[in-house]
Structure 1
Amino acid sequence: MKSTKPSRTLLVALALSAAGVASAQANDISGCVLTGQKGSVSLQPVNPGEITVETALPNPAWWNGDTVDQIKDGFEFCLAANIAHRAGLDKVKVISSSFPALIANQNKQKDLSMATISITDERKKVLDFSVPYFSSDIGVLVKKGVKVDQETIRTFRIGVLQGTTGASFVSDHIKPAEIRVYPENPGMYAALIAGQIDAAVNDTSIILGQASKSNGTLEVAGQYSTGESYGAIYPKASPNKEGMNRIIDEMAKDGTLAKLASTYLAEAWGADPTKVPYLKP
C-alpha cells in the first residue's frame, strides 16, 4: 500500500523553502541611532534596497538577539544600519553562519561580514578587510573565584573557538596542559560551566559580555595584550569597499563609533575592559 506520509525529499524541500522565506525578511533598523547624511555615499548592494551582512550568533552587545529574526540593535548591527543609512537605504538583512564558515568567505550573497573578526596579517593574505572599527585584546573567562596567573594557566584545560586568533594565541604562547576546540561559543561556555574545561579564551570584548550574562557564575580573570583590531570582511573584488571604508572612517571621526561602544558595550559588559588585569604569556 502506498504511504500517505510526505516523502523525506518533500519535507526537506518544504523546510528549505520556509527558511528562504524567513531569511528574506530584512531587519528593522529603527532601533539604532542613525547619524550622518542619508544617501551621502553611493553603494551597489548585492540585494537591491538593503545592506546584507553576515554574522555568527549569538554575540550579545554586538548583535542583540539570539536568532536572525530577533536582532534589533547592538554595536555591529547598528554599524551596518548606519552604513545602510548613509548609502540611502532603510533596511539591513542579517544572515547567520558559523564562525569558521564566515571567515572562509564563501558566501557571495552578502555585502560584508561582521562578527568581532580580528584583522591579522595572515588573514589579510586571503581576506579583504575593511578599515578597523574597534580594538580588542584576548581575555580569560573562568568560574568566579578561580585564580589565574602566568603559571597556573599552563595547568588548565583551555577551550578556544575554532579559527580564532584566540585559538592561535593559546597554542603558540600559553601552551596549556590541554586545548579543546569548539565550533561555536555556546558549546564552549557550556563546557566551562560544566567543568569540562578550566577556562575559555576569546576576545576580551566578547567574554566580558558572557560574564555579565552569567549571574555571577563566570568572570574575566585576566587578559593578554595583543593589539588586535576588528574589521569587516568584504567579498572579493567588492565594488563597495571604498564607499564602506569611507563611511566607517567618517563614523570614527564624527564620534558615531564611540557612541555605539558606550551605548551597547559598556552597559552589557558590566566592567571596564581597561581594568581587567593583564597577564604575561
Structure 2
Amino acid sequence: MIQATRLLLAGLALCALAATASAADKIGNCEVTGAKGSIPLAAPAVPGQLTVAVSLPAPVWWNGDTADTIKDGMEYCMAAEIAWRAGYDKLKVVPVEFVPLVQGEVKDFDLALSEISITKARKKVVDFSVPYFNSDIGVLTRTDAPVDRKSIKKVTVGIQQGTTGAAFALDVLKVTDYSVYAERADLLKALSDEDIQAVLTDTSITLSAEAGSAGKTKVVGQYKTGEIYGALYPKGNANNKTLDKIMQAMIDDGTLKKLAAKYLASAWGRDPASIPYFKP
C-alpha cells in the first residue's frame, strides 16, 4: 500500500511538472516554440521583459481593445516568440500613436510591431528588421455602399496621416475629395458613420477591419504597391542586430508562416490575392 501510494504521488508530481512546463511555454495565449534565451538581448529597454510598441486598434494582428486585454494575434504572438527566444517570459505592450512612432519620436521600447511598411523616408529616423509580410493598398467600403475603380475618385476617401496609403491616395491616385485622420480607429469610425465612403490603407489592415465588422464593411479592391512590413527598431539601438537574428530565425524555421496561417488566413477567410486589382 505504501509503495502504491509513493508511485501515485510520484506520478502526480510528474504530471504537475509537465503542466508547469507546458504553462511556461506560453506567453498570453501564444504557444512559444523556440528555445528560451537562445538569442539573448544585452540590455532591454526595461530589465526583465521585452517592451513592444504598437498603434491600436489592430484586430487580428493584436486581438483586444486595450494593451492589458491583448493575449494573442499575429503580431502579438510574434512579439511573444521574440521575447521567449531573447530569454523573457514577460511581454509588455505599450500603445503609441502611429505618426510619432514612424517619425522616430517614441522612446523606451525594444521594437514596434504595427503593420509598418518599410520606406526610405522612415529609414532615415528608425531602423527596420528583415521584412516579414507583403501587403498592397486595399479599398475598404461599407457593404451597403460599395465603390469600384472608377467611382472611388468621385467619393470622399478616408486616409490615415503619415501612412503609405495616404501617400498613394494623394500622390498616385490623386484623389481630390478626402479626409485625413490621425489614428486608425478614427478612420474606421468615419466609414461606419458615413462621413467617408471608402478607406485607402494596407490590404492587410482593410481585411482585418472587414473581418471585425460583422459584415458591415468589405474590401472591394486593391492597388499593387509592393508594401513590405518590418519590425521597427529605435535608430542605432545596440539590440537591433540581435532582434534581427531572432526575426530571421523565425522566418527560417517556419514560425511566421504558421502564425500567419493561424491568425490571418483563418480570420480573413480569403486569400488577399483573390481581391481584384484596380488600376490607378
The alpha-carbon deviation at position 220 of structure 1 amounts to: 0.2
What does residue 21 of structure 1 align with?
none
Tell me which amino acid in the other structure corresponds to 2:203.
T
Tell me which amino acid in the other structure corresponds to 1:84.
A
Following the alignment from structure 2 to structure 1, what is the Cα–Cα distance between the partners of residues 168 and 129?
A: 23
Q: Does structure 2 retain, via aligned residues, the 8 Å contact 1:156–1:177?
A: no
Larger radius of gyration: 2
SS in 2 for 1:70: coil
The alpha-carbon deviation at position 55 of structure 1 amounts to: 0.5
The alpha-carbon deviation at position 145 of structure 1 amounts to: 4.9
Q: State the percentage of identical aligned residues.
A: 50
Structure 2 matches for 1:144-223, cutoff 5 A? 144-223=143-222
Of residues 201-210 and 148-157 in structure 1, the stretch that sits farther from structure 2 once superposed is: 148-157
Supply the RMSD in Å over aligned alpha carbons: 1.4
Q: Does structure 2 retain, via aligned residues, the 8 Å contact 1:129–1:234?
A: yes
Following the alignment from structure 1 to structure 2, what is the Cα–Cα distance between the partners of residues 100 and 46?
A: 21
What does residue 40 of structure 2 align with?
42
Tell me which amino acid in the other structure corresponds to 1:154.
K
Following the alignment from structure 2 to structure 1, what is the Cα–Cα distance between the partners of residues 77 and 49?
A: 14
Q: Does structure 1 retain, via aligned residues, the 8 Å contact 2:141–2:220?
A: yes
Structure 2 residues without counterparts, runs of 5 or longer: 1-25
TM-score w.r.t. length of structure 2: 0.87
Following the alignment from structure 2 to structure 1, what is the Cα–Cα distance between the partners of residues 172 and 31?
A: 40
Structure 2 matches for 1:25-64, cutoff 5 A? 29-43=27-41, 44-64=43-63
SS in 1 for 2:48: coil
Q: Does structure 2 retain, via aligned residues, the 8 Å contact 1:208–1:270?
A: no
Following the alignment from structure 2 to structure 1, what is the Cα–Cα distance between the partners of residues 106 and 152?
A: 38
Following the alignment from structure 1 to structure 2, what is the Cα–Cα distance between the partners of residues 128 and 276?
A: 31
Following the alignment from structure 1 to structure 2, what is the Cα–Cα distance between the partners of residues 72 and 173?
A: 38
SS in 2 for 1:148: coil
The alpha-carbon deviation at position 147 of structure 1 amounts to: 4.5
The alpha-carbon deviation at position 146 of structure 1 amounts to: 3.8
Write the deviation string for residues 10-53 of structure 1: whole angstroms up to 9, x where unpaired: xxxxxxxxxxxxxxxxxx81411212221111202111110001
Q: Does 1:117 pair with 2:116?
A: yes
Structure 2 matches for 1:218-257, cutoff 5 A? 218-257=217-256
Q: Does structure 1 retain, via aligned residues, the 8 Å contact 2:56–2:185?
A: no
Q: Does structure 1 retain, via aligned residues, the 8 Å contact 2:59–2:212?
A: no
Tell me which amino acid in the other structure corresponds to 1:33.
E
Following the alignment from structure 2 to structure 1, what is the Cα–Cα distance between the partners of residues 216 and 105?
A: 37
What does residue 7 of structure 1 align with?
none
The alpha-carbon deviation at position 88 of structure 1 amounts to: 1.3
Write the deviation string for residues 51-84 of structure 1: whole angstroms up to 9, x where unpaired: 0011011101111111010010111111111111
Following the alignment from structure 2 to structure 1, what is the Cα–Cα distance between the partners of residues 236 and 77?
A: 25
Following the alignment from structure 1 to structure 2, what is the Cα–Cα distance between the partners of residues 147 and 197?
A: 12
Following the alignment from structure 1 to structure 2, what is the Cα–Cα distance between the partners of residues 203 and 111?
A: 24
Tell me which amino acid in the other structure corresponds to 1:254.
D
The alpha-carbon deviation at position 185 of structure 1 amounts to: 1.6
Tell me which amino acid in the other structure corresponds to 1:40.
S
Tell me which amino acid in the other structure corresponds to 2:190.
A
The number of residue pairs the alignment matches comes to 254
Following the alignment from structure 1 to structure 2, what is the Cα–Cα distance between the partners of residues 124 and 62?
A: 23
TM-score w.r.t. length of structure 1: 0.87
Tell me which amino acid in the other structure corresponds to 1:29.
I
The alpha-carbon deviation at position 176 of structure 1 amounts to: 2.0
Structure 2 matches for 1:18-29, cutoff 5 A? 29=27
Of residues 34-43 and 59-68 in structure 1, the stretch that sits farther from structure 2 once superposed is: 34-43
Of residues 159-168 and 184-193 in structure 1, the stretch that sits farther from structure 2 once superposed is: 184-193
What does residue 127 of structure 1 align with?
126
Following the alignment from structure 1 to structure 2, what is the Cα–Cα distance between the partners of residues 208 and 257?
A: 19
Following the alignment from structure 1 to structure 2, what is the Cα–Cα distance between the partners of residues 198 and 30?
A: 37
SS in 1 for 2:186: helix
Tell me which amino acid in the other structure corresponds to 1:268.
A
